[in-house]
């Protein structure tokens, strides 16, 4: 697989085969991703791999919190407090395309809720990686974390694995930290579902749209 295919063929996988991922392969993925760049080589990433009982405990805790109306308290603000164009329109289109792939009608609130809660089940993936960063680090290190996450996802593709980065799993970071025994000094950036994709499922066959290069690029002579 060349670099172009690795990047352009990556999707957020939301349906997985019932097939375990060997620890050796997860380790190889992280061995590759650790070469991601970071400012002054600080390597600010902390990763916890959750499988089996620990992953199920997180699923149960997140679902209980959401269903009982507990207000999310993420460690950081991922989205803007007020949406404006063009971002508002892109977000809306993304949601509509996803619901269409899931065959969920616009007015079917119950199915939409279940689709949202599927995030907390990691879409049936056998593995979830959680990414943390020490609170002493600045915004530049969060930029480094993004490059590290992309490296993990691309390295996973090299092993035939699919993934889905999930900021939603950081809605209740205290619950996740408690189950994974991670100190409060670390902020939870996101989870990442990991496993072998079920390519037959329609939800894995739709693609989000991308803007043309001309729409976001200016050439300065």
Please check whether residue 28 lies inside any domain of the structure.
yes
pLDDT at 178: 98
Please check whether residue 108 lies inside any domain of the structure.
no
Nearest of 138, 152, 173 to residue 62 by alpha carbon: 173
CATH of the domain at 58: 3.40.109.10
* Percentage helix, strand, coil for the chain under 3-state DSSP, each rounded to 5: 50, 15, 40
Please check whether residue 160 lies inside any domain of the structure.
yes
Count of structural domains, the chain: 1
pLDDT at 95: 85
pLDDT at 143: 96
pLDDT band at 181 (very low <50, low <70, confident <90, very high): very high
- Poorest-pLDDT segment among 26-30, 79-83, 146-150: 79-83
pLDDT over 90 (residue 206): no
Please check whether residue 113 lies inside any domain of the structure.
no
Please check whether residue 51 lies inside any domain of the structure.
yes
pLDDT at 11: 94
Domain that holds residue 187: 3-79+121-207
Please check whether residue 43 lies inside any domain of the structure.
yes
pLDDT over 90 (residue 111): no
Nearest 5°: phi and psi at 146?
A: -65, -40
Residue with the bigger pLDDT between 117 and 126: it is 126
Q: What is the pLDDT of residues 81-107, one digit of tens each?
A: 999 999 999 999 988 888 888 888 877
Please check whether residue 17 lies inside any domain of the structure.
yes
pLDDT over 90 (residue 140): yes
pLDDT at 97: 85
Residue with the bigger pLDDT between 132 and 169: it is 132
pLDDT band at 60 (very low <50, low <70, confident <90, very high): very high
Please check whether residue 48 lies inside any domain of the structure.
yes
Q: Which two tokens stand for residue 113?
A: 């809720």
What mean pLDDT is predicted for residues 30-47? 98
User: Tokens 């002054």 appear where?
Assistant: 40
């Amino acid at each position: 697989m060349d670099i172009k295919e690795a990047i352009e063929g990556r999707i957020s996988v939301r349906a997985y085969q019932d097939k375990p991922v060997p620890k050796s392969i997860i380790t190889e993925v992280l061995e590759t991703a650790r070469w991601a760049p970071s400012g002054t080589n600080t390597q600010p990433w902390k990763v916890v791999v959750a499988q089996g009982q620990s992953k199920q405990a997180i699923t149960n805790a997140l679902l209980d919190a959401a269903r009982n109306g507990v207000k999310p308290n993420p460690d950081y603000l991922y989205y803007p407090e007020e949406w404006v164009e063009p971002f508002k329109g892109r977000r809306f289109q993304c949601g509509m395309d996803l619901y269409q792939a899931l065959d969920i009608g616009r007015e079917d609130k119950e199915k939409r809720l279940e689709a949202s809660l599927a995030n907390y089940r990691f879409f049936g993936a056998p593995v979830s990686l959680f990414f943390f960063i020490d609170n002493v680090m600045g915004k530049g290190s969060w930029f480094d974390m993004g490059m590290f996450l992309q490296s993990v996802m691309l390295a996973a593709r090299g092993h035939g694995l699919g993934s889905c980065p999930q900021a939603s799993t950081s809605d209740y970071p205290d619950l996740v930290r408690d189950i994974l025994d991670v100190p409060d000094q670390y902020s939870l950036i996101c989870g990442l579902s990991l496993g072998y994709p079920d390519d037959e499922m329609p939800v894995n066959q739709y693609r989000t749209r991308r803007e043309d290069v001309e729409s976001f690029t200016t050439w300065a002579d």
